[in-house]
Chains A and B, each alone.
Chain A
């Protein structure tokens, strides 16, 4: 218990990912869903760094983590642009209202 190893970080990032998925599943506000996806991506960053530290060594894990962070920032920018557009046409960001393409 007192020696922190890879297992601790695996359990923690599993928890974080599950919380993120549950947030994405239970929020109806589109921005809440974006918050959930940020939790999921942070779990990935934590896992990359932990495997880099305990199994691979060097900076390879950290470089993978930095690409995840950059992609997450890009994803947040595009997602918010889409939400603003959605808000301009529907006057809400409730994802249940976004059913214009439903057959």
Chain B
């Protein structure tokens, strides 16, 4: 079981890194969006591997089904002129890579040298059931749940107002 878990982990971690590299170096924005789909799918698979079944399902439905479609629509609505180019100068690109690399090095040094102690007691190895998830969400986490629903209402109205063509 542990060997299978390791193999699956490395396959999807490799896919994730591979598609992130293509997003970073790709020049065509719609191809970047398609590689983003691969990356999001790999994250969903890793969430399944972590026993977060419901989170993986939400990741597939909301991210790949929702956010990605939104991004593709955004590309189609904003990129109709063939004369607009988004070339980045080489020194700007190098500066971006240096920022990312420094961040990675700093994070790895800081996080891998932290002890991350295990809590007393046994951490369950079982995948948490969706029933537990829903009960916890509506009891212990009722306040953030309600706040998020308010936020979604505000986002819906705000996006509609922002995207509406201006009246003269």
Residue pair B43, A34 in contact (C-beta under 8 Å): no
CB proximity of A95 to chain B, nearest CB, Å: 9
Residue pair A21, B99 in contact (C-beta under 8 Å): yes
The residue on A at minimum CB distance from B160 is A81
Chain B residues 65 to 100 lying within 8 A of chain A, measured CB to CB, are: 66-67, 70-71, 73-75, 77-79, 81, 84, 86-88, 92-93, 95-97, 99-100
| Cross-interface CB contact of B66 among A3, A73, A83, A94, cutoff 8 Å | A73
Majority secondary structure, B binding face: helix
- Proximity bits, B17-43, A CB within 8 Å = 1, else 0: 100110110000100110010011001
Instruction: For B2, list chain A residues within 8 Å (CB).
Output: 2-4
Residue pair A57, B123 in contact (C-beta under 8 Å): yes
Instruction: For B119, list chain A residues within 8 Å (CB).
Output: 55-57
* A-B residue pair count with CB separations less than 8 angstroms: 234
Instruction: For A52, list chain B residues within 8 Å (CB).
Output: 50, 52
Residue pair A49, B52 in contact (C-beta under 8 Å): yes
Query: Beyond A2-B3, A91-B81, is A70–B20 a contact (Cβ under 8 Å)?
Result: no
Range, interface on chain B: 35 or more
Instruction: For B155, list chain A residues within 8 Å (CB).
Output: 74, 77-78
The residue on A at minimum CB distance from B32 is A35
Chain A residues 55 to 77 lying within 8 A of chain B, measured CB to CB, are: 55-63, 65-67, 69-74, 76-77
Residue pair A18, B9 in contact (C-beta under 8 Å): no
CB proximity of B53 to chain A, nearest CB, Å: 9
CB proximity of B37 to chain A, nearest CB, Å: 10
Q: How far is the CA of A36 from the CA of B159 in the complex (A)?
A: 21
Residue pair B103, A58 in contact (C-beta under 8 Å): no
CB proximity of A94 to chain B, nearest CB, Å: 6
Instruction: For A11, list chain B residues within 8 Å (CB).
Output: 108, 112
Q: How far is the CA of A46 from the CA of B29 in the complex (A)?
A: 25
User: Most chain-A CB neighbours within 10 Å: which of B13, B32, B74, B93?
Assistant: B74
Q: How far is the CA of A7 from the CA of B75 in the complex (A)?
A: 37
- Proximity bits, A1-36, B CB within 8 Å = 1, else 0: 111101111111011111111110111111110111
24 contacts between A and B (CB under 8 A): A2-B2, A3-B6, A14-B111, A16-B20, A22-B100, A29-B29, A32-B86, A36-B23, A38-B63, A46-B47, A50-B50, A56-B119, A57-B122, A57-B123, A59-B128, A62-B52, A63-B136, A69-B62, A74-B151, A77-B70, A78-B162, A80-B74, A80-B159, A91-B81
